[in-house]
Amino acid sequence: MHNVSNGQIALLVATIACFAVATICSLLRLRRDHEGLRVVGKVVAYLGLLSSVGVLIWHSAERGTWIPLGDNFDTLVCLGVLLAGFVLYMQVFRPLRGLEGFLLPIVILLMTAAVVFGRTQPHDYVNTTWSWVHRIAAYGGAVAFAIACAGGLMFLWVSRRLKSARIAGPGPRMGSLERLEHLTLLSVGLGFGLLTIGAITGLARIAETPGDTRLGDQWYLNPKVLLALCVWVVYAVVLHSPINPSFRGRRAAVLSVVGFALMVGTVVAVQFVPSGR
In this structure, are residues 158 and 175 in contact, taking their beta carbons and an 8 Å threshold? yes
DSSP state of 172: P
Q: d(Cα 233, Cα 15) in Å, to the nearest integer? A: 35
Q: d(Cα 61, Cα 136) in Å, to the nearest integer? A: 21
Task: Classify the phi-psi angles of 187: left when phi > 0, otherwise alpha if psi is within -120 to 50, otherwise beta.
Answer: alpha
| pLDDT score of 206 | 67
| pLDDT score of 172 | 52
| pLDDT score of 176 | 79
Q: At what angle do helices 250-272 and 129-163 cross, to 10 degrees?
A: 140
pLDDT in tens, the chain (277 residues): 457 888 999 999 999 999 999 999 988 887 777 888 889 999 999 999 999 999 999 998 888 877 666 677 887 898 889 889 988 887 887 677 777 888 899 899 889 988 887 766 655 444 455 677 777 788 888 888 888 898 889 888 888 877 775 544 444 556 778 888 888 888 888 888 888 887 877 776 666 665 555 555 666 667 777 877 888 888 888 877 766 666 677 888 888 888 888 888 777 766 555 554 4
| pLDDT score of 215 | 58
DSSP state of 1: -
Q: d(Cα 143, Cα 260) in Å, to the nearest integer? A: 10
| pLDDT score of 32 | 79
| pLDDT score of 272 | 58
Domain locations along the chain: 1-122, 126-277
